[in-house]
Structure 1
Amino acid sequence: MSTFIVGLTGGIASGKSEVSRRFEALGITVADADIAARDVVAVGTPALEGIVERFGPKALQSEGSLDRAWLRRRVFADPVERRALEAITHPAIRARLKALCEAAQSPYAIAAIPLLTEAGGRSGYPWLDRVLVIDTPEACQLSRLRRRDSIDEALAQRMIQAQATRAQRLALADDIIVNEGTPEHLQPQVEQLDRLYRQLAQR
């Protein structure tokens, strides 16, 4: 059971998934907020019932699962609706992540939370012992995002600007991994932090 939990975050196309994989390869449990977000709205969950109560039966597909495309169109057109959805899902996602981390058999656990800054940072996740930010220069983010999603520069810029700023993320950081080179440059940084977190978890 892990009592030491690290929050891992970073902007879009910063390399969060690659860093997570490298921690997992060292035997560390990584609980992913994106996966938790899908789990908490599965058929039969309280969050799905809350969504139907708030948005009506159109939020469901014919077989009873969440109609993500319909809901996405609905909430992204209206900030009030988006906040209403977040009020239903965010507490469930936080609880799921915390439970997964606490159940981990590794010396410490990582909660990978892409929108940690936007979700209130430490006040939203008071159970995080440390915050690790994957930091990437915006020019690097842009080129990766364009290549990864096959999109033009204008759309890539809008996607980056829709998130918290680099400065806002860095203000949360206890630890920083700089990811502006090849994936191989990440390994020494991950190994160094793994040693640190194992020591801190023993205290």
Structure 2
Amino acid sequence: MSDWLADTRDSYDTVAVSYADYTRGLLAELPYVRAALRLFAEQVRGPVADVGCGPGEVAALLHGLGVDVTGIDLSPAMIELARRNHPGIRFEVGSMTEPLGVKVAGILAWWSLIHIPDDEVPVVLGHFHEALQPDGLLVLGFHVGDRTNLKTQGYGGHPMRVHVHLRRPERVVEWLRSAGFAVEAQWLLGTDGAVIFARRG
């Protein structure tokens, strides 16, 4: 495992409980984010992987909308919390930097690609393309910007060491098209967030 990936895993293991407390109920305050997730649930036809699921709040929303969802996360502590808090949903430890080992109709990477370095993004998107069924739907949520921040302290004041990559939507679109996806929609959320819907060719 590369150093940055180990740092990411260990950081989210450290903050797992505080992060779960922070995100619990957060979706209720984000109507446009909920709308994007509802649209994803309406458009997808079959099983879904929520990659970078954290403590499972988004997976639980999708499950409540009738989606057959499996949550995948790099952090074992996050997966333990997700299983405990949402026992009716499948959660597995895994990394988007490796083949997912499943065939699904949809993939959601909801503010999780933000920790992947630029040179690894095409590899990750290749794994997503391979895991998706023909005409499968990929939805990405991410921070918008032109910089990388090193986060050294996180939720609950705990130490972290994670790089947070802010990217322009047009750059993400270019990566998606190079990986064999057809981009169907782009949403801007305020000035600092974006959602992209893309279909596997």
Same fold (TM over 0.5): no
Normalization by structure 2: what TM-score?
0.31
More helix by share: 1
Between 1 and 2, higher relative CO (CA 8 Å, sep ≥ 6) is seen in 1
Normalization by structure 1: what TM-score?
0.31
More strand by share: 2
